[in-house]
Structure 1
Amino acid sequence: MDKINRFFWFCSGAHIPTLEKYSSEQNKYTGIGATIFFTGLFAALSGGYAMYFVFKGDDLAVVFAIIFGLLWGAAIFNMDRYIVSSINKSASISKQVLQATPRILLAIMIGIVISRPIELKIFDKEIKERLKVSYLNGQRSKIDTLNKAFQNKYQVEFGRLNQQKATRDSLEKGIKTDRQKLNFEIFGNKTTETSGVLGYGPFAKRKEAEIQQRTAELDSLKANINKAESFIDKRKEFDGLFTAKLYTDKQLDSLANLAGFADRNWALGQLKFNADGTSDNNTALAVTFIGLLFIFFECLPVFVKLMSARGPYDYVLADGDEVSIYESKKNKDFRFEVADNVHETRVDSETSKQKEIIKGKAYRDLERYDWDKE
């Protein structure tokens, strides 16, 4: 436990020799260090998972994911460690908040970045289903676009073909009616257009000749229609309309599994909406709260440092910094004072140019002098 505590103290950015003297402060910095460590760990997992999808299908995808995950986790860990350790507890509350504000904004951005890949993994099944729907709709739209473009390209041929089909339907309907009239005439059924005389008379012969003539016209028209349809089918095959088909379930599964990071990220955003375009509040809240959880977790070390009272460890660090600054300033002032005195004793018999040379030499001599030893 002692080694674990010391490791977490290191993660918190604390000065370990000083912290060891104050046991009341140790648990606080153990918690802060553990939070920073696990934030870096989650960042490593998130970055590795995102990189795995970038190189998915490559033989070295796992290697790239591990390397990038470790680098990304180390970068986030180092950044969090600096953010927490740089907050000055000796300053006033307002100044501490002012110092922490850009760090909190940066922590929010980091939380958003590391939470996204983890959200993709949590909603993996729902994302695949939404991708299948998207790919199927995209293929259907592609086929409709091809058909529409083909019809516009061969608009004249389609117009002539539709006109021929309308004429064919009209001829077939007329021939059917004439055959019924012929039957009425042969069997002696009295109507406004039949004689009512039983037998195969002159009127029946004339009607049958008309039917045969119209049947021949219909056969010729059907032949022309078949030629036109054959021409259009060949053009469809040439333009690729026959090869454009809707995806099968197996193809959709394969496409969803091979989807890249951008497609999956888009699908995650679309989970907030139903298929009909209405909002899916349940899924939207789930995605939002997971993102907020990681953002809060990333900001937690900063909040803990801000909320914690100023303890003896903070006082000792602040006093040590003030003493170091005071001693450094005192030594600097003393050296300049001695240098000025040396300069004054040597410049009486020298020219102005020689004075500057001597003064510079005096400063260099003072820099080589061991003041701490003296």
Structure 2
Amino acid sequence: MLKQFFILCSGADKNLLENCSEGEQTKFSGIGATVFFTAVMAFIASAYALFTVFDNIYPAIGFGLVWGLLIFNLDRFIVSTIRKRDSFSSEFLQATPRIALAIIIAIVISKPLEIKIFEKEINTVLLKEKNAMALANKKQVADYFKSDLDKNKAQTDSLKSEITKKEKEVNTLYETYITEAEGTKGTMKLGKGPVFKEKIAKHDLAKAELNALRKTNLDKIAYNDKKAKTLQTDLDKKVTDTQPIIDGFDGLMARINALNKLPWLPSFFIMLLFLAIETSPIIAKLLSPKGEYDFKLEDLETALKATISQDKYQRELLVKTSASMHDKVYADISEDKKLYDLQRSKATELLELQAENFVAKQKKTMQ
């Protein structure tokens, strides 16, 4: 049962192969088994690849089944259409497009399985890339809010600077009226004279201005601090909202790019393995000598070709013979005098009728 299934997979003529030797049947069942298991590998590879895209097993299995059947049909077609010839070079030339197609199929099949085999190494590469992307994202978001934060900080520093400047002015005036009262500076007279009263008035005025400025600026600073906290909250929220996108950066293309960053030699040998599996039925057919099945198939094909060629020649000869016979028949008819006299009398009668009709029409126009 299994042998018959693999023979069916090989694309060989089942009825023709039944009359061949056991060894010939075993050869084609081996070719069919290679075709079948290549399709199974294609199913696994495509299902895994689609699972990384959709993250859902059902569409992955569905598409994997379709892809596996497609590869099975292609491989079966490739193997079944290769014919054994008397020259190896002509056989190889015939198989060249099929080998090229097999190479493409092998590369497509091997890539998702390479991703699965090197999954841990790929995850390490992706983790490094995600960390780098997270840092870059934070910097980009910070740069986006930087102008507003810098402007807010500059306004706060300016308000604080105004308060500090006014405090220095008040302290200076305080020191001036104190030294005037002590007689160490100014008029150099001890006591609270007119100059002292003038200087303390200036100090009190400046202190009142300081208090008013401090109250106004502190309110503005409090508002700016609140605004800075809001901007920082928006910045953190932006970073938090974009982080899931970075965390989800592990799709099929990302994994293929990560695989390309790993050492190429192990991946190359895995691809060669699938290439060997995919091309093995073709190589086996090219290297194997003509077998009993090949001779019988060639006999059927050449017999059919000969029959078709003979039928075509007979149809062409029939057309030529029929045309020649008709030419001869009409030539004989044209020389028959009785038929000629009959045709002449009928033509004369027709001409007379035409002349009479013409005369009648002319008379009508003259009336």
TM-score relative to the length of structure 2 = 0.66
Match of 1:137 among 125, 132, 138: 132
Aligned to 2:109, the other structure's residue is in SS state helix
Pairwise CA distance, 1:325: 0.7
2:302 is the alignment partner of 1:326? no
Contact 1:13 1:85 (8 Å CA) reproduced: yes
Match of 1:285 among 249, 258, 265: 265
2:130 is the alignment partner of 1:150? no
Q: How far apart, CA to CA, are the structure 2 residues paired with 1:112 and 1:68?
A: 18
Q: Detail structure 1 runs of 4+ shifted over 6 Å in the superposition.
A: 163-170, 219-224
Greater percentage in helix: 2
- Any stretches of 5+ residues in structure 2 without a counterpart? 169-202, 332-367
Pairwise CA distance, 1:162: 5.7
Alignment correspondent of 2:324: 344
More moved, 33-42 vs 117-126: 117-126
Pairwise CA distance, 1:259: 5.9
Change (3 A) 1:38 1:229: same
Pairwise CA distance, 1:80: 0.7
Match of 1:232 among 228, 231, 238: 228
Pairwise CA distance, 1:166: 9.0
- Any stretches of 5+ residues in structure 1 without a counterpart? 175-208, 274-279, 352-374
- 1:93-136 residue CA offsets vs partner (Å, 9 max, x unmatched): 11221122211111111111122222233233443444344334
Alignment correspondent of 1:8: 6
- 1:308-335 residue CA offsets vs partner (Å, 9 max, x unmatched): 1222322222232222111211122123
Aligned to 2:102, the other structure's residue is in SS state helix
2:240 is the alignment partner of 1:241? no
Change (3 A) 1:115 1:165: farther
Alignment correspondent of 1:190: none
- 1:127-171 residue CA offsets vs partner (Å, 9 max, x unmatched): 34443443343233222111112113454444455677899999x
2:235 is the alignment partner of 1:265? no
Aligned to 1:323, the other structure's residue is in SS state helix
Pairwise CA distance, 1:35: 0.5
| Structure having the higher Rg | 2
Change (3 A) 1:108 1:169: farther
Q: How far apart, CA to CA, are the structure 2 residues paired with 1:162 and 1:152?
A: 15
- 1:288-318 residue CA offsets vs partner (Å, 9 max, x unmatched): 3222222221122111111212223222222
Pairwise CA distance, 1:348: 3.0
Contact 1:139 1:246 (8 Å CA) reproduced: no
1:168-187 aligned at under 5 Å gives the runs none
Q: How far apart, CA to CA, are the structure 2 residues paired with 1:80 and 1:103?
A: 9
More moved, 73-82 vs 286-295: 286-295
Alignment correspondent of 1:46: 45
Change (3 A) 1:15 1:288: same
Aligned to 1:242, the other structure's residue is in SS state helix
Change (3 A) 1:310 1:164: farther
TM-score relative to the length of structure 1 = 0.65
Q: Which amino acid aligns with 1:31?
A: G
- 1:215-258 residue CA offsets vs partner (Å, 9 max, x unmatched): 99xx8888865553333223344xx21314569xxx88x986x6
Alignment correspondent of 1:22: 21
Contact 2:36 2:72 (8 Å CA) reproduced: yes
Change (3 A) 1:169 1:86: farther
Q: What is the aligned length? A: 295
Change (3 A) 1:165 1:321: farther
Over the matched positions of the two proteins, sequence identity in percent amounts to 32
CA RMSD of aligned residues (A): 3.9
Q: How far apart, CA to CA, are the structure 1 residues paired with 2:160 and 2:283?
A: 79
Change (3 A) 1:54 1:350: farther
